[in-house]
Structures are given as structure tokens and as C-alpha cells.
Amino acid sequence: MGKFLKLLVLFCAVSFALTLRTEEEIRRRDEMLRHSDNFTAAFSQEYLRYKETGVRTRQLEQMLAMMQITKEFARVEITELDAEAAIMSCVACRATVGLLLQQYRSGARDKEQIIEDSIGICIDLTSYSVIVCEGVIRLFADHLIYIVDARPALTANQMCSMVLQPECGDPDPVFDFTINVSPGPPITGPKSGSIPRNANEIKIIHITDPHYDPAYLVGGFADCPDPTCCRRFHGMANTTAARAGRWGDYRSCDSPWEVVEDALEAAHRQHPDAHLIYITGDYIDHGVWETTHAGNMAILDRFYAAVRRVFGNKPVYPVLGNHEGQPTDQFAPSHITDPVISSHWLYQHSANAWAQWLPASALTTVRRGGYYTVNNLPGFPRLRIIGLNNNDCYRMNLWVMYSRVEIAQQLQWLHDTLLAAEAAGEYVHILGHILTSGSSCFRYWSREFRRIVDRFHRIISGQFYGHSHNDEFNIYYARQQHQTAINYAWLGGATTSYGGQNPNYAVYFVDREIYQVNEKESWYYSVTEANLNEATRPVWRLHYRFREFYNLPDLSPASLDNFVTNTMSRSRNALRSYREFRSSASDFVMNQPCDDNCLRGQLCSVTRNEINDNRKCNEINNFPLS
């Protein structure tokens, strides 16, 4: 069933929420959603008639034309699509999943027939090659059918509300869950204060989203109709414009090995004095229709070995990204042991590979669920690192629809670990792949995570994520006091240019008392420039120092909030420079027009902590810009 909808998706991740829906658009969406059951019924009737007669009515052709999934859909988050496209993707999801689910549950079509129907619908609704449609649907079928069999009450509308959150109705309450949060002192004000900058700061390199594609073909075809291009599968480019460069491509292309290796070597060359290395996931390519356990492990092995070779004995703290799952995005609970759908292979592999960086005591939870905590770091006695596997919050992880029990367990473990850290007088850095806010994590997970941040914001000194490919940040506001800034997260960007940004990595300067970030630097190279000088290695440049550039007194949550609320939200220049920073000065992004509304849209991605909670964002995105 609706695996085709998997495909429409993005398995990838790209930035979130640059488009603010107007009241009128929301009204129109709700109106269309009210009619969608009838659309589903009509589509089912026409489609089944076609399966019977082999003839497509004009009405069926029209419906299929309406439901076309653009390639754009695979590239951006749903909240970035225009309102029309977002609504139609929801209608299409409900109609196709509704049809397939009904046919499967009623016994009218068996598993193989449902797979074939799904492949047919994928070919009808997307530009993707037959090989891509077939590959994706066959890879995901076992997972989806297991879940549908185990959850006979699951409806198509519920499934679409999860996968297409928040554009397909409110996420269904059937997916809700809560954890136990211990009582703590009330939040009395924003989190402020910092240790003055000093020569003794800890220097941390943050590398994320390398997306190494072993099938990348320099000179290959970058303009293909599939979710990922520039691969051997697509052959050589027939024009100069369509040619994949040696140093990456702004289109839907991952990175060749040289790009991955160059980023690691550049980071080490420019910062040989770094103390810690944070690596936040998505080592695997976007060839989502042909991933295998062996293929993923080969990529991971090559990447980890390069990290080790380049950084030597430096401490490295890795986490898993949604692309490490196989098939992509899928993270089954631990009691699922069937090797076809289980995630044990990945957790075993991670425990073995990470044993070179993590103490044995941290590996128990890696084996169980791909997450860990480490304290008593040599030289940093009061710093605790928590590496989450928060891909279980991802709306594309179908297992969220199966059960939230283990998802809750990891969050409860996070809570309990923070409680122990608080008692021990430690400060904590949280590493994860997916920003806990925004549209990628399903709403109930974001809310529970927020409750934890509310409770422990005093000791959470830093949060570090990847996934969006944008070099950006997100301020956490207290749930009950939406103007009170209590924490924030840095997103590292990406060393791949998939998604249209330039490759980058970040460097943080952290004090040794409360372990808060005192300054953030970003380093990047221009894909355009590098490919014009293909024979030589890219020129890496310092892009900005955040605190210095915006002239901030410190980088506490209160200070960042003050900047966003009083400066950034009113200044075209500040919003423009932030836009440039987010894409690491990508020509692809900067050559697109961005009017005031587009500039202001960035404020939501900075201030939203839970999808549909736009309280802070609505307060600051209407100021006149000067």
C-alpha cells in the first residue's frame, strides 16, 4: 500500500518551513480535505474499473493528472511546497493509500498484486524511472505490510496525517504518547549568562550529512528525472550544462568519495587543534531504490575509516541519520527480529564500528537502539555527551505507526540520563540527526522532547543536529511561556551539495565551565568555483563567525532570542545574510529571488519547536523590514 507515497517523498530532508500558509490557504486546504473522502471513493471506482477493463476513463486520466507528484516534492520538505502542491499531495496520498489499503484488507488483491498496483501508480504519478518505482516499492513493501497486518485499525487518513504532517490534517491522536517528566523548579526567565571568551576554550568540529554515493559519476547526467542523479545508472551527460562536476553538483546529486574525503581533510588541516569531533549522520546516498545492508555497511566502513585516518586519536562522537536505515528511514523496534525488516544489523554494526571511539559502557544502548551517553571525558570532567538515534521521530519512519513504546523508552532514557547528570553537576551536549522541532519529527515526539528541554534546560548547554543540509539554528522556547528562550540547537549544514547548498562544516568554541557555545564558525567551498577549477582541490574559506558577524554580547539563549526578536525580524540585511549563511553562499540558492515574505519565512524555522505551534513566529514575522 501506498509505498508509492514513500517515494514521493524525500527520504531526504532538506530545509523546512520557508513558506507561511495564509489564512486563505489554510481555509482552502481544510475545505479540500473535507472533500477528499469523496475524491478517494471516486478514484477507487475509476481505478478498479480500469484494472478490470484495461481502459482508462477521461475522469481517471484527469484525476491522475491532478495528483502528479513533482520532482520538487522529493527535494524539499512539504511545508516548503506551495499550498496547492501540498494539498494535492495529501489528496493523492489519501486516495491512493485508501484504495490500496481497502483492496488489501478486503482480500480483493494479495500482497504481490498490491505491490504491482503500487508500482503502476508510482509510474503514473511521478517522473521516476520504472526501475526506481519498482525498487522503492519492493524495498518498503515488507515493512509496510507487516505494520498494516499488525495494526488492522490503521486508516489511510491516519497514515497520511503522519507522513505528510502538517499538511494532511492534524497528526492523528492515535500516534500520541507521553513520558514521565520529574518535577523541577519553575521556569522563571530566559536562560542567560555565559563565560567570557578565553584562550582555554574547547574547539569542536561538526561534520554532517556527507551522503557518500559510491555510484557518483564525474561527468554523469545531473538532470535526470529520478530522486537522485549523477549516478552511473544515468550514464554520461549529453550536454555541458547537465554534467556532474568532480566537486559535487547543486542538483539532486550526492557526493563522490573525493568530496567526502576533502571535507574531512580540510577540517583537520584548518583546525589541527580541535579537541572533539561531532558527526551527525546521513553517511549514505539517496539511491533509495537500491539500498542494501551490505552496501550501507560498506559506505559506513569507508567513512569511519577515513574519519579515523584523518583525525587520528581525537575523540569522535557519531550518531545515526535517517539514511543509515535500510530501507531508508526505517527503524524497527528491537523485538522485530525478522532479518528482512529488523534494524539489528545497523545497531550491531554501529556498536562494532563505534567501539574505537566510545567506551564499552556506552555500547549497550547502541546495540539496543543506536543511542548512547558518555561522561568523564578526559580533560572535560563535567561534560556529558548524549548521542540520540532520533530517527524514530521521523514522519517517514513507518514504524512510528506501529508502536510508540520503544520511541518513548529512548526519550525516557534521555530524561533519566539528564536527571542523573543534573544530580552529578554535569553539563550536557545532545547530538542527534534530526532537529527536534520543525516538520520532520512527528508532533507528539517534538512535544515530549520539549517537555524534557523545559525540565533540563539549565544543564543542556548545546544541541547539535544535521539533516536539513542548512547551516542554521533553532531557539527553544518554554512550552507554557512562548516568549521565554531557554535553549537552542545548531544545525551543522552538510558536506554534500545535495539540496542545493555549498559543502560546509562548522566549528564551535565552547567554554570549560558550563560548556556553552561561545562562538560558531562555518567553513565552506563554492561548488561553482570548484568545478570551474576541476583539476585542483576546492578552496575552503571561513564563511562567518556568528557572534562576531552579528555583534552579539554572547551566545546564550536569551541573547540569541534578543537578536532574533529585536534585530533579525526587522532587518532585511540580517535576514539576507542569514539566508546566505544557511546555504553556505550557494549560487543555486542565492540566484533565486527572495522577497520580504521569503526572508521572513526563515524566522519560523528559527523559533518554532513543534509543528503547528507558531506563537512566537507569528509575533515576529510581521514587522516592517528596514
Distance between CA 85 and CA 307 in Å, rounded? 41
Local structure of 510: helix, strand or coil: strand
The reply to whether 301 sits in an annotated binding site is: no
CB closer to ligand NAG out of 127 and 481: 127
Q: 423: Cβ–Cβ under 8 A, 6 or more apart, which residues?
A: none
The sign one gets for the Cα dihedral 316, 317, 323, 324 is: positive
Instruction: Give yes or no for residue 27 binding ligand NAG (CB under 6 A).
Output: no
State which of positions 134-173 bind ligand NAG (CB under 6 A). Answer: none
Distance between CA 114 and CA 112 in Å, rounded? 5
Local structure of 539: helix, strand or coil: coil
The reply to whether 143 sits in an annotated binding site is: no
CB of 261 to ligand NAG, least distance (A): 31
**C-alpha cell of 360?**
564499552
The identity of residue 93, as a single letter, is C
| Residue that the C-alpha cell 532574533 belongs to | 564
Distance between CA 133 and CA 149 in Å, rounded? 23
Distance between CA 209 and CA 321 in Å, rounded? 8
The reply to whether 335 sits in an annotated binding site is: no
- Cα 174 to Cα 45, 245, 354, 563: the distances in Å are 28, 47, 36, 39
CB of 317 to ligand NAG, least distance (A): 43
CB of 107 to ligand NAG, least distance (A): 25
Element (H, E) at 202: strand 202-207
State which of positions 220-249 bind ligand NAG (CB under 6 A). Answer: 238-239
The reply to whether 429 sits in an annotated binding site is: no
Q: How many CB atoms lie within 10 A of CB 182?
A: 11
Binding range to ligand NAG, per CB under 6 A, among 18-26, 34-42, 274-282, 311-319: 34-42
Binding range to ligand NAG, per CB under 6 A, among 33-41, 306-314, 400-408, 525-533: 33-41
Q: How many CB atoms lie within 10 A of CB 110?
A: 10
Find how far residue 352's CA is from the centre of its chain: 25
CB of 125 to ligand NAG, least distance (A): 20
Q: What angle do CA 443, 69, 157 make, to 5 degrees?
A: 40
Instruction: Give yes or no for residue 178 binding ligand NAG (CB under 6 A).
Output: no
Binding range to ligand NAG, per CB under 6 A, among 30-38, 187-195, 315-323, 538-546: 30-38
State which of positions 349-378 bind ligand NAG (CB under 6 A). Answer: none
| Residue that the C-alpha cell 559502557 belongs to | 361
CB closer to ligand NAG out of 22 and 238: 238
- Among 24, 38, 107, 312, contact with ligand NAG (rule: CB under 6 A): 38
The identity of residue 538, as a single letter, is P
Secondary structure letter of residue 387 according to DSSP = E
The reply to whether 433 sits in an annotated binding site is: yes
Instruction: Give yes or no for residue 35 binding ligand NAG (CB under 6 A).
Output: yes
CB of 239 to ligand NAG, least distance (A): 5
CB closer to ligand NAG out of 195 and 215: 215
Contact by Cβ (8 Å): 543, 506: no
- Among 24, 34, 152, 183, contact with ligand NAG (rule: CB under 6 A): 34
CB closer to ligand NAG out of 238 and 356: 238
CB closer to ligand NAG out of 238 and 348: 238
Instruction: Give yes or no for residue 53 binding ligand NAG (CB under 6 A).
Output: no
Count residues contacting ligand NAG (CB under 6 A)?
A: 5
CB closer to ligand NAG out of 37 and 258: 37
Q: Which residues are annotated as a binding site for Zn(2+)?
A: 209, 211, 282, 322, 433, 467, 469
